[in-house]
Amino acid sequence: MEFKKLALAAIASMMVMSGMAQESYFVKTKNAKKTVVKQNNSEDTAAEAEEEEVSAPDFVGDNFKFHSLCNWKEGMKFMVMPEKYDLIVNTFSDASNNKEVSSGKLQHKIMIYKNHTESAEGIAYINFVCQDDGKAYYYRVPNGSFEDYCYNKMGVPTLAYLGDVDIARSLLLGKTLFTKTTIFREDIDDMGEGFREVKVPLNEEVKVVAVGVGSRKFPVKIIVADKSGREFYQNVALSKTNCGMRDDEFIMDNTKYTFYGSFELADANEKAAKEYASYIGHTYYTRYRTPMTNEKGEKVTIMRLSSFTIKAIKGMNGTKYMKLTLKSLKTGEVFYKDVAFVHDDNVAGDIDGHREDYFNYLFQKGAIDFSKYPANHVTAMQQGKAIRGMTKECVRLAKGEPARTVKDRNGREDWIYPREGVVVKFDKNGKVM
């Protein structure tokens, strides 16, 4: 009798611990409304961290290895996160009786990968043990062999890979990030999956306060807080293990569901950023029309000869680019521009035959006081044109230094711009004729 009591107590203890382990994967922003529900009981299993050598020189590539279904290893953990379609079409069958099991019944259960098998009839099965109830379940491959199926990257429906969640939690909790999109989410209630979209300033400094499970497609839920304490989150795909999406699907609206689409590490290329810290606080003007990003995350075109103070320079992880924070001398507005301080063939864009993202082509040190020039001369300078009556100073601002100059004995002078096929003629008083 005493042994029976001890056994029951041990089982109860394990069930409580299991429930706590499972609950740890569910994180909510602090504004989520409280809901009273009955807690699920389950058996706890220790996580195994997998170490892989990865050559990619970036945070995601260094730490989150894609695991093809063809190469899944026993012990890999997944959580059943069905979408609406999955609640209609069952994914798993109970191995003890071969009966299909509702995805709703298995929702939020942790499945541990065991192996794959094939029947005498050639039917392939992907086998799991449920951490929560100890039962064996399997997913029947719809058609063809296991090898044929695994290479198409469809994976097993409903399953969110928890390996990424565990690694992300260990690496990101407490870290400072910067926002790379303006659209995030905020939880509505603490137990359901309801959310509302919220707008956040671009390049906002935030701190990671929680990491948990998101969805099958985007398994890692990263909750951050801004300096005011406001919390919001993004579900992201890191390794893309079993996400069921192709790489080309992570574009346009889905870009924000990648780590780099929503966040940037504060220490990304920190060493490089310090190298260019001497630029901060100085004033520069644009030599060409160029696109920038405003504080709302919108792309805008900045006119030539627009003056800015550089407020910050920040490295961009895994790239040679640096992000400039620029404050307009004219309006006080803040803009952002990605530039490279090293010029090579990999620097993007082309303006007037120059690579537009190369800092020294795009910017010139100093500020321009337009008040000392006639209004029509200002307009022409911003358009890159030389017009009658301009001084040599104005022409330099409008067109840059000439390739060569020619003077005659009467004091006249020609400035030659062969790339444009333009010759600017000055009279003996130094005014454009």
> Model confidence over 349-372: pLDDT tens digits?
666 555 678 898 889 999 888 888
Distance CA 116, CA 69 (A): 10
Q: What is the pLDDT of residue 136?
A: 97
Q: What is the pLDDT of residue 267?
A: 67
Q: What is the pLDDT of residue 42?
A: 41
Please give the full DSSP string across 199-219, using - where no structure is assigned: E--TT-EEEEEEEEE--SSS-
Distance CA 247, CA 13 (A): 43
- Mean pLDDT across 209-223: 96
Nearest to 294 by CA among 326, 317, 269: 326
Dihedral of the alpha carbons of 73, 78, 83, 87, in degrees to the nearest 10: 90
Instruction: Encode pLDDT of 284-336 as tens digits.
Output: 999 888 899 998 889 999 988 999 999 988 877 656 788 899 999 989 999 99
Structure token pair of residue 272? 């490089």
Q: Which residue has the tokens 């058609």?
A: 143
Strand order across the beta sheet in which 195-199 lies: 195-199, 183-187, 231-236, 220-225, 205-213, 176-179, 263-265
pTM for the model: 0.62
Higher pLDDT, 234 or 343: 234
Domain boundaries, the chain: 29-54+68-162, 163-265, 270-365, 372-426
- Mean pLDDT across 23-42: 66
> Is the pLDDT reported for residue 12 higher than 50?
no
Reported residue count of the chain is 433
Q: What is the pLDDT of residue 373?
A: 87
Q: What is the pLDDT of residue 1?
A: 44
Task: Write the CB contacts of 158 (distance below 8 Å, at least 6 apart in sequence).
Answer: 80, 81, 82, 83, 86, 91, 103, 106, 216
> Is the pLDDT reported for residue 139 higher than 50?
yes
Structure token pair of residue 130? 């449920």
Distance CA 203, CA 182 (A): 9
Contact 259, 186 (CB under 8 A): no
